[in-house]
Structure 1
Amino acid sequence: MELHTERLCLKPYTLDLAGRVVELAGDEAVAATTFVPHPYTLEMAQDWIALHKEWIDKGMAYPLAMIVKESKELVGTMTLRVDEKHHKGELAYWVGKPYWNQGYATEAAIRVVEYGFNELQLNRIWSAAITSNPGSTKVMQKAGLSYEGTLKQDIYHWGEYKDLDVYGRIKNEV
């Protein structure tokens, strides 16, 4: 399975990318604004990547490496987790700090939302971001998701309770 955008190839991870995952996802700035664990070890990355084939084969989740076509660099992850019973998916992602504010997450999110609705026939796609991460909420908005509400102190992250902003879209909404 591969999805393409103008600048990106979105494809399943291979174990040879584990070191780069640690380098990017292991950055404290990435972990501070996402749900990525910190510190993030090579073993954690390898274990995570080892699960992907089963998840994709079962249609449970599609964790895709965001690879820049021109340079072949891994810049982040765009995942669609599927709730088959309720025909919905959760969009989850992170981007390595050197690639922030370059539109990669937006480009990938638009393509994965399209895939979820058109190929997987999902009825709803949603996503959540820590309220203090406005870059992530901009990605959701640009991918066509609308603000649905804020879950007050919904997670305990780095020693404090944090709010989550939830965005979503129904298939037949434009």
Structure 2
Amino acid sequence: MAKCDYCGSTIIFGGKRDANGRFCNQKCQGRGGLLAFSRQIPEGTVTEQVWKFHQGPCPKCNGSGPVDVHVNHKVWSAIALTQCSSTPQISCRSCGVKSQLGGTAFSLFLGWWGFPWGLLLTPIQIGRNLIAMASPPEPSKPSPQLEKAVRMTIASRAVQQQQAARQQSAQTVPAKA
């Protein structure tokens, strides 16, 4: 099955394709340019920033690291409607487990109410959370998911700086002599 080049979601039907890759929806396709830009960042710069982030404080609780990507899986259902989501979160292990426990509780209470998908997907999402809690990212080295997130952050900041510089130069009016 195809995966979205931006968010990693599985593409079952449709999707969007362009020069930057294959995407699950218009929103991810819009960020495809940023993805292409992020691939041009020198490896040394990315590695340095990834290790700083990995060994730094948790962005959620400001506690000690290591910091990595923890994914929280949820599902809710109502009669014929079912919605699944997997939300990556950059945090310490403790915050990641709290988020996964919250996703498990959310799914336990709100996931079963749709037929047939709620009944089928709820145990899957709960199982994904339990597996993620039992097998966390290796604390001694950053995960590839953290590297991708840091790479995208660096690219996003660079694009914002370029846009700010363009706006500032456009606002600067040359003085008349």
TM-score, reference length from structure 2: 0.26
More helix by share: 2
TM norm structure 1: 0.26
| Higher fraction of strand | 1
